[in-house]
Copies of this chain bind each other. A is one copy, B any other.
Amino acid sequence: MSSAAVLDMALTLFAERGYHGTTLRQIAEALGIRTPSLYNHMTSKASLLDAITTSTITAVVDEFTAATEGVTDPVERLRRATEVYAFRHAVHRRETMVVNGDAVHLEDPARSLVREKRRWHERAFRQIIVDGVDAGVFDVESAKLASFAIREMCVSVSRWFRVGGGDTTPEELSRQYGEYALRIAGVRRTA
């Protein structure tokens, strides 16, 4: 047994039933050990939630930065920010479901960290829309509304998409979601 295995099983069960809907006994049972043995690989149930949420939200921000830095065209920035966000919600479904469903159960300092990084992403994303409107390449009535619509469309991917389960790959899904984002933003067809 390893800490990684415990964290991974917690991830699976938290995503499936929620943090409060999952017991340590269930995690232990799924791993074939007794509840107290879990404490050789973690410090508490809450620490599992902390680890999952903070690493995930940090990755979201880092990926946004990596995908958009050096890119100045708002159209291309929006496309890349959307693609990387949609892709993450397709390939890391469990992590994103836990962040979105159970972050409310975090305690500080994890709670504040997640909230701040989430707001950072929210503002950075919306700024792309604002810049595009200012530059005259986007056509939306409300940058706020369009930004929420695009981001949340991506977030929800984790709730229905299954890798290998359908006919679409994560790469293909994120490419198409990138196109949806440009459509919502009011950009004429680019491809």
Chain A residues at the B interface, C-beta cutoff of 8 Å: 16-21, 100-102, 104-105, 141-142, 144-146, 148-149, 152-153, 155-157, 159-160, 166, 168, 173, 176-177, 180, 183-184, 186
Across the interface, A20 reaches (CB within 8 A) one of B20, B104, B166, namely B20
A156 touches B160 (CB 8 A): no
Bound CA span A148–B159, Å: 10
Neighbour of A160 across the interface among B146, B148, B166, CB < 8 A? B148
Find out whether the CB atom of A101 lies under 8 angstroms from the CB atom of B104. no
Please give the distance in Å from A126's CB to the nearest CB on chain B.
Answer: 12
For this chain, the copies found in one complex come to: 2
> Which of chain B's residues have a CB closer than 8 A to the CB of A146?
180
Q: Which of B16, B148, B176 contacts A145 (CB 8 A)?
A: B176
Does more than half of chain A's interface fall in helix, strand or loop, or is it mixed? helix
Minimum C-beta distance from A78 to chain B (A): 14
User: Could you say which of B21, B101, B105, B180 contacts A149, with CB atoms under 8 Å apart?
Assistant: B180
Pick from B20, B102, B149: contact of A177, CB below 8 A: B149
Given known contacts A17-B105, A20-B18, A105-B21, A145 and B173 CB-to-CB distance under 8 angstroms = yes
Taking CB atoms, residues of chain B closer than 8 Å to A177 are 145, 149
Cβ of A12 to closest chain B Cβ, rounded Å: 14
